Amino acid sequence: MKAPLKWLKDYVDIDVSPKELSDAMTLSGSKVEGIEVQGEDISKVVVGKIISIEKHPDADKLQVTKVDIGSEVIQVVTGAQNIKLDDYIPVALVGATLPGDKKISKGKLRGVESNGMMCSIEELDLSKEDYPDAPEDGIYILEPGTELGKDIKEVMGINETTIDFEITSNRPDCLSIIGLAREAAVTLKKEFKKPQVKVLEQGDEAKNYVSVEIKDADLCPRYAARVVKDVKIGPSPKWMKERLRAAGVRPINNIVDITNYVMLEYGQPMHAFDLKDVQGNKIIVRRALEGETLKTLDDQDRNLDSSMLVIADENRAIAVAGVMGGANSEISGDAKAVIFESANFNGTSVRLTAKKLGLRTEASGRFEKGLDVENVVPALERAVQLVEELGAGTVCKGIVDCYAKKQEQVTISLRPDKINTFLGTDISKKEMVDILKALEFEVDENTDIVKVPSFRSDVEAEADLAEEIVRFYGYNNIEATLLSGKAATLGKKTYKQSIEDLIKDTMVSCGLYEAFTYSFTSPKDFDKLNLPQDSNLRNAVVISNPLGEDYSIMRTTTIADMLKVISTNYNRRIDEARLFEMSFVYLPESLPIKELPKEKPILTLGMYGKTDFYELKGNVEELLSRLGIKEYEFVPVKDNPSFHPGRTASLIIKGEYAGIIGEVHPAVSEKFECPERTYLGMIEVESLVKNSSMESQYNPLPKFPAVSRDIAMLVKDEIMVKQIEDIIKQRAGKILEDIKLFDVYKGKQVPEGMKSVAYSITFRASDRTLTDEEVGKAMTKILDGLKNNIEAQLRE
């Protein structure tokens, strides 16, 4: 809401600077977005009168003029063609500043001295819309007889200071000069000068010209109309145009300007109909008929339906209630009599209608917040008073006021102690009452009953009163305290939360960087991931109003997003990256969804560059170790369509699936524009949490020495080392302490189709030194087992 300072001053004495006012208003709840000082960058531009014009001796297109600026006569050379002798014009003197950082200095134009510049509208940064009398091209000509030498800003009304307030949705009353003036008065502890409006009503009875009927009172609690005869359509006076412009509204003509002026001043949108276009002299407020259409003032044909409220005459709709008037009853230059409408419409209805029509207007934006029913008549009175003041017509007697259901006044008990307890303050009852009264609440000091003014529909209960009081007491005057002891609670993370944090910490210590990606994605990702059409992962939660297809479903897998991150880095020529993300996948129970989907946390790992499958796996193993998870295995996965069939494993913890790691299928890498060797892991966080064990128990340090034996064997290529290890573990007996794989070799000296595998096996007993014989026995059993089960050939 843009409030010209002068306008505010009509209703409250403001004796502080605009900046001080802004700061104070911001801290009492009317946040100031900005202060605009019109003409800030214009200086030393004054009114001048052209007293002679001569041709420039050396230039056809230039003229040499003498300009009287009151105190002296100056010579100005100009290229303008529209000026003539005795014209009053704005002239920028030597040393003047103009918008766009322009400075006027003494100069010569083709050898002739020029001590100033005549100004066009554009040079003053004004628009032709605001000054329709300005010439298409050339100098702006002022009214003859304007005081010479006077500052142009004053003459043209470009010296207004306007404060732009951000008004919260609960305060439609502050979308008005009156409302803001009231707030300013309480903020500055000044008197709020309520508007005094008196209408002469020199015409005959208004009801001779119009009647009003409300058919749908649920959507229109009140409709009031006034009739103005002998209308003289013309421009509004300068002061009104200036205020409208400063508030961001374009002046049109006196009648339309009055409706806008009152809307800004009172916060009550108004409309004016040309009486001759209201057929049957009857205004009917009703729901639109199915299929009814109306051309609105913006020349658009609107299709209406029965959820929308219209203003109609006997035969047709003439306005969409609270949104926009119809072209069929528009005030034209030849209007002789007009009907002023001031009404209250249901906010929700107006909002939905505006939304359906795609037509949000200044009026609808106000109505939808819920306006004051009691403001309808005062605003109407102000409008017709302005008609009389401007001499725009003769106001007829009486208001045609249809007020179906009177609004009940809200009352609240004021309990000063309770409010002080709630706020943590020690505000006296008197101070509370003073603030409330200044805000036009009625307070009965015997019963402590507070009557809420009709324009404050946001105030419903005690907490609202508390806010009103503390806004002006000062939020920042409340003493900061700490919660009292009763609320003492133990602050901690849950076990799950600690494990999740530990997972992140471990990933970081493994050298991975954390990524954050969006949770919605494109259904096209499923194809890029090679997923079959019947894949469960394709059953995703769909957003009904997405930002676009790329963001249209909630992801069921995180790997597509990790691949996109890798692709971003790879395509920026970054030669390696190691990343992880902790995020959710969203798995619907059924589609279309009725219940909330399961949100399953996933740890995603992604790597490329100087790395391989075993580094990825190593990271996962470090994590499992950190979480105290011992019972796990990695099982080859050959049939995941997104992964390399020979370089992928699932992680199985205690017999249950807990994730997948592997090299990305080259076809998938290619589609995501990732390097050919890209490694991904997706680990189920819930499984990690469930199987983690943070309990540590001390085991006595060994007292007896260990014995180590190294063995190397040749096995068939397809034998996995896990098979070898299982045999060793199974055969070695209790004295086995550890087995370590230290070499896997293929190539020279190893026959085709075979590989050499070497282990170091450690034995130890906790109660004695092992004898060679014991160890020898165990080794024999191991070797026999390897020979018999996997045809291992011992290498010497």
Partner 1 sequence: MKEQLNNIRVQAENELSAAETIQDMENIRVKFLGKKGELTSVLRGMGALSAEERPIIGQIANEVREALENKIEELKKKLQDKERDIKLAQEVIDVTIPGKRKGLGKKHPLTIVMDEIKEVFIGMGYEIAEGPEVEKDYYNFEALNIPKNHPARDVQDTFYINENILLRTQTSSVQIRVMENKKPPIKVICPGRVYRSDAVDATHSPVFHQVEGLVVDKGVTMGDLIGTLKIFAKSLFGEKTDIRLRPHHFPFTEPSAEVDVSCWTCGGKGCRVCKNEGWIEILGAGMVHPKVLEICGIDSEVYSGFAFGLGAERTAMGRFNIDDMRLLYENDIRFLKQF
Q: Is 27 in the site for partner 1 (CB under 8 A)?
A: yes
Q: Is 484 in the site for partner 1 (CB under 8 A)?
A: yes
Q: Whose Cβ is closer to partner 1: residue 187's or residue 692's?
A: 187
Q: Whose Cβ is closer to partner 1: residue 65's or residue 346's?
A: 346
Q: Whose Cβ is closer to partner 1: residue 584's or residue 745's?
A: 584
Residues 186-225 that bind partner 1 (CB under 8 A): none
CA distance 659 to 682: 5
Instruction: Give the binding range for partner 1 (CB under 8 A) out of 40-48, 169-177, 306-314, 728-736.
Output: 169-177
Interface residue with partner 1, options 462, 621, 726, 737 (CB under 8 A): 462
Q: Whose Cβ is closer to partner 1: residue 403's or residue 551's?
A: 551
CB of 596 to partner 1, least distance (A): 5
* Long-range contacts from 627-635, C-beta under 8 angstroms, 24+ separation: 627/499, 627/502, 627/503, 627/506, 627/688, 627/691, 627/692, 627/693, 627/694, 628/692, 628/693, 628/694, 628/695, 628/696, 629/653, 629/688, 629/691, 629/692, 629/693, 631/691, 632/658, 633/722, 634/661
CA distance 575 to 582: 24
The three-class DSSP label of residue 155 is: helix
Residues in CB range of 484: below 8 A, 6 or more apart: none
Q: Is 479 in the site for partner 1 (CB under 8 A)?
A: yes
Q: Is 164 in the site for partner 1 (CB under 8 A)?
A: no
Our CA angle for 500, 501, 502, nearest 5°, is 90
Residues 525-584 that bind partner 1 (CB under 8 A): 541-547, 551, 554, 565, 568-569, 572, 574, 577-580, 584
The three-class DSSP label of residue 334 is: coil
Instruction: Give the binding range for partner 1 (CB under 8 A) out of 163-171, 193-201, 396-404, 449-457.
Output: 163-171
Tell me which DSSP letter residue 1 carries.
Answer: -
Q: Residues in contact with partner 1, total (CB under 8 A)?
A: 89
My answer on whether omega of the bond before 592 falls inside 30° of 0, hence cis, is yes
- Say if strands 338-344 and 222-229 run parallel, antiparallel, or are unpaired: antiparallel
CB of 446 to partner 1, least distance (A): 24
Q: If residue 416 lies in a helix (H) or strand (E), which one and from where to where? A: helix 416-423
Residues 676-715 that bind partner 1 (CB under 8 A): none
CB of 459 to partner 1, least distance (A): 10
Q: Whose Cβ is closer to partner 1: residue 67's or residue 470's?
A: 470
CB of 484 to partner 1, least distance (A): 6
Contact track, partner 1, 58-87, x by CB under 8 A: ------------------------------
CA dihedral 453, 457, 461, 466 (to 10 degrees): -70
Q: Is 131 in the site for partner 1 (CB under 8 A)?
A: no
Q: Is 504 in the site for partner 1 (CB under 8 A)?
A: yes
Q: Is 494 in the site for partner 1 (CB under 8 A)?
A: yes
Interface residue with partner 1, options 332, 409, 509, 780 (CB under 8 A): 509
Q: Whose Cβ is closer to partner 1: residue 511's or residue 532's?
A: 511
Contact track, partner 1, 292-321, x by CB under 8 A: ------------------------------
Residues 350-389 that bind partner 1 (CB under 8 A): 351-352, 368-369
| Residue labelled with tokens 């043209």 | 156
Distances (CA, A) of 152 to 24, 119, 281, 657: 32, 10, 48, 82
CA distance 100 to 42: 10
Tell me which DSSP letter residue 13 carries.
Answer: -
Q: Whose Cβ is closer to partner 1: residue 73's or residue 508's?
A: 508
Q: Is 591 in the site for partner 1 (CB under 8 A)?
A: no
Residues in CB range of 482: below 8 A, 6 or more apart: none
Interface residue with partner 1, options 9, 31, 276, 709 (CB under 8 A): 31
Q: For residue 624, how far is the Cα from the chain centroid? A: 42
CB of 31 to partner 1, least distance (A): 6
Tell me which DSSP letter residue 485 carries.
Answer: G
Q: Is 513 in the site for partner 1 (CB under 8 A)?
A: yes
Instruction: Give the binding range for partner 1 (CB under 8 A) out of 489-497, 636-644, 749-757, 758-766.
Output: 489-497
Cβ(279)–Cβ(313) under 8 Å? yes
CA distance 216 to 106: 70
Interface residue with partner 1, options 75, 253, 519, 535 (CB under 8 A): 519
Q: Is 586 in the site for partner 1 (CB under 8 A)?
A: yes
Interface residue with partner 1, options 510, 585, 627, 775 (CB under 8 A): 510
CB of 164 to partner 1, least distance (A): 15
CA distance 298 to 312: 18
Instruction: Give the binding range for partner 1 (CB under 8 A) out of 106-114, 449-457, 467-475, 723-731.
Output: 467-475
Q: Whose Cβ is closer to partner 1: residue 29's or residue 251's?
A: 29
CB of 353 to partner 1, least distance (A): 12
Instruction: Give the binding range for partner 1 (CB under 8 A) out of 83-91, 216-224, 419-427, 659-667.
Output: 419-427
Distances (CA, A) of 126 to 129, 640, 679: 9, 68, 63
CA distance 518 to 683: 18
Interface residue with partner 1, options 19, 103, 238, 493 (CB under 8 A): 493
Q: Is 423 in the site for partner 1 (CB under 8 A)?
A: yes
CA distance 61 to 55: 8
Q: Is 478 in the site for partner 1 (CB under 8 A)?
A: yes
Q: Is 596 in the site for partner 1 (CB under 8 A)?
A: yes
Interface residue with partner 1, options 85, 449, 463, 694 (CB under 8 A): 463
Instruction: Give the binding range for partner 1 (CB under 8 A) out of 38-46, 332-340, 473-481, 652-660.
Output: 473-481
Helix, strand, coil content of the chain in percent (nearest 5) = 30, 30, 40
Instruction: Give the binding range for partner 1 (CB under 8 A) out of 122-130, 141-149, 291-299, 485-493.
Output: 485-493
Residues in CB range of 507: below 8 A, 6 or more apart: 514, 580, 603, 605, 619, 623
Residues 254-273 that bind partner 1 (CB under 8 A): none
Cβ(209)–Cβ(281) under 8 Å? yes
Interface residue with partner 1, options 450, 512, 661, 782 (CB under 8 A): 512
* DSSP characters over 535-579: -GGG--PBPSS-SSGGG-EE-S-SHHHHHHHHHHHHHTT---EEE
Instruction: Give the binding range for partner 1 (CB under 8 A) out of 45-53, 445-453, 493-501, 788-796.
Output: 493-501
